[in-house]
Structure 1
Amino acid sequence: MKKIALLLVFTIVFNTVSAQQKKKQILLLGTFHFENPGLDVAKINTFNVMTDKSQKELENITNKIKKFGPDKIFVEWNYQKQDKLDKFYNKNTDSLLHKNASEIVQVALRSAKKLEHKKLYGIDYKDTDFPYDSLVKGIEAANQFDLIKKNEESMKHYETDQNKKIAKYNLTELLLDINTKASNEDNIGWYLETANKGGKTDNFVGAFLVSEWYRRNLYMYALIQKLTESKDDKIMVLLGAGHTAMLREFVAHDPEFEIIELATVLK
């Protein structure tokens, strides 16, 4: 009887520890902005997701997301305006899908409706600064000519490369490419290799810009952590690729989550 009792206790402890160690799956879906307003520093051409071909792809993509089965979907929407997101989510779905080209509608809302979710979760944090013009002036004032050249070449290369891909790839290929390791590294690289160095030794305009970018993403990740409940086994985060690249760094040091690659979901 004692052996049976000990075995029972061991089984309970083992199952408890196993349950505690089970990680939540997080699909970090980085994207370009489907409705490109031209507000980003890099000027990227708009990809038309409203064509019949792209709409069929979006149906396939969101069907695969449904099969993955996230319990919650987080989007790039100001968290302070969740009430407006709730109202937006409850509008006529067919009308939104036919008129609104944003990735929030075409990917997140389309997926959430198929999953019969009651809402989407806004996690964007807007109260940060991104003083790019000041950075450029700081670099010029410091006579960092090599850095000026590197910044211009990097920006031009990025714009040219992305616009070539937009002209060549279909929507699925674009999204898969944006979520590769190389693309994620490029998204983070500019901040540390170029921006952070900007300014004279007593001018930290570059480091300030980088710190504000980190802060925005760190606050967004804090919202993901706070809004993910114990009952949630899987979540999806749909953000601009620059954000998801940064979030990957945070997840790597968070034992609660494990990243599920988009390529795995869409296979």
Structure 2
Amino acid sequence: MQKIILLLVLTTFNLTFAQQKKKQILLFGSFHFENPGLDVAKVNTFNVMTDKSQKELENITDKIKKFGPDKIFVEWNYQKQAKLDQFFAKNTDSLLKNDSDERVQVALRSAKKLGHKKLYAIDYNETDFPYDSLVKEMKVANQLDLIKKNEETMKNYETDFNAKITKYSLTQLLLDVNKPDLSWYLQTAIKGGKTDNFVGAFLVSEWYRRNLYMYALITKLTESKDDKIMVLLGAGHTEIIREFVEHNPDFEIVELASVLK
């Protein structure tokens, strides 16, 4: 009888534990290794193809393998998953030697080490980012202090990042960009325009919408059998997605620093 009671207690405990177990999500925020110059702030390119950086990438992806994500999500248009599948199927050695994109150097390299068959595209590109209109409406509204603050924010970011490139290792730089300051959106951009003009709020809402849609895809593509996942995006994206994840009791955030230590 005691054995039966003990068995029932253990079974109940295991069921409760299974219900409470959270999926671990590694939010890997990155800068763009192949800097396309499309961001508002213009920064220099960090060369990840040097022998030193390649050794670091081997170490980084070895630690990702040890973490063991069941799926890796990347900043690739979700409507072009088939193209990503074709890209994934290419000769890995050739890509690693010739393509500096972070989706190759981090995501693809990790996926191959893990024995994954694919990467998962989650980027949503049907949003607007009317930065030129924002600056124009600041001028129309004669928001001189805001214009100055905006210019100083962009300049300080460029100067700071470019300085770090000259003295940081790749690993140090990646850990650093995983602590982005997003206050520009909610303290500067959102104020742009006259009181009856909401170009700033529209820009911010579109930025959040893009990230919210990516988060929606993460939740849809994460299956019950997946215990761990990794999301590799620009650090500005992962920081906002972090806000969404923190309100989802199904997920537990794993810090990049804890994986790379």
Amino acid at match of 1:229: E
Residues 217-240 of structure 1, C-alpha deviations (whole Å, 9 max, x = no match): 000000000000111111000000
State the match for 1:63 in structure 2.
Answer: 62
Distance 2:186 2:36 in 1: 26
Is the partner of 2:38 in helix, strand or coil?
coil
State the match for 2:239 in structure 1.
Answer: 245
Residues 90-141 of structure 1, C-alpha deviations (whole Å, 9 max, x = no match): 0000110011000000000000000000000000000000000011111111
TM-score of the pair, normalised by structure 2: 0.97
State the match for 1:72 in structure 2.
Answer: 71
State the match for 1:261 in structure 2.
Answer: 255
Tell me, yes or no, if structure 1 residue 230 matches structure 2 residue 219: no
Distance 1:143 1:12 in 2: 68
- Bigger shift: 76-85 or 251-260? 251-260
Distance 1:110 1:135 in 2: 39
State the match for 1:23 in structure 2.
Answer: 22
Distance 1:196 1:20 in 2: 41
TM-score of the pair, normalised by structure 1: 0.95
State the match for 2:209 in structure 1.
Answer: 215
Distance 1:13 1:88 in 2: 46
State the match for 1:129 in structure 2.
Answer: 128
Amino acid at match of 1:213: W
Distance 2:208 2:243 in 1: 11
Distance 2:129 2:7 in 1: 58
Structure 2 residues not aligned, in runs of 5+: none
Distance 2:55 2:9 in 1: 52
Distance 1:226 1:151 in 2: 37
Residues 230-251 of structure 1, C-alpha deviations (whole Å, 9 max, x = no match): 1111100000011001011011
1:8 is displaced (CA, Å) by 3.8
CA RMSD of aligned residues (A): 1.1
Amino acid at match of 2:222: T
Is the partner of 1:29 in helix, strand or coil?
strand
Is the partner of 1:255 in helix, strand or coil?
coil
Is the partner of 1:16 in helix, strand or coil?
helix
Distance 1:258 1:199 in 2: 39
State the match for 1:48 in structure 2.
Answer: 47
Amino acid at match of 2:233: L
Is the partner of 1:194 in helix, strand or coil?
helix
Amino acid at match of 2:209: R
- Bigger shift: 14-23 or 151-160? 14-23
Structure 1 residues not aligned, in runs of 5+: none
User: Aligned pair count?
Assistant: 261
Amino acid at match of 1:237: V
Identity %: 78
Correspondence list, 1:112-151, <5 A: 112-151=111-150
Distance 1:32 1:127 in 2: 22
1:9 is displaced (CA, Å) by 3.6
Distance 1:256 1:93 in 2: 34
Amino acid at match of 2:89: N
1:142 is displaced (CA, Å) by 1.0
Tell me, yes or no, if structure 1 residue 195 matches structure 2 residue 189: yes
Distance 2:12 2:82 in 1: 43
Distance 2:88 2:142 in 1: 50
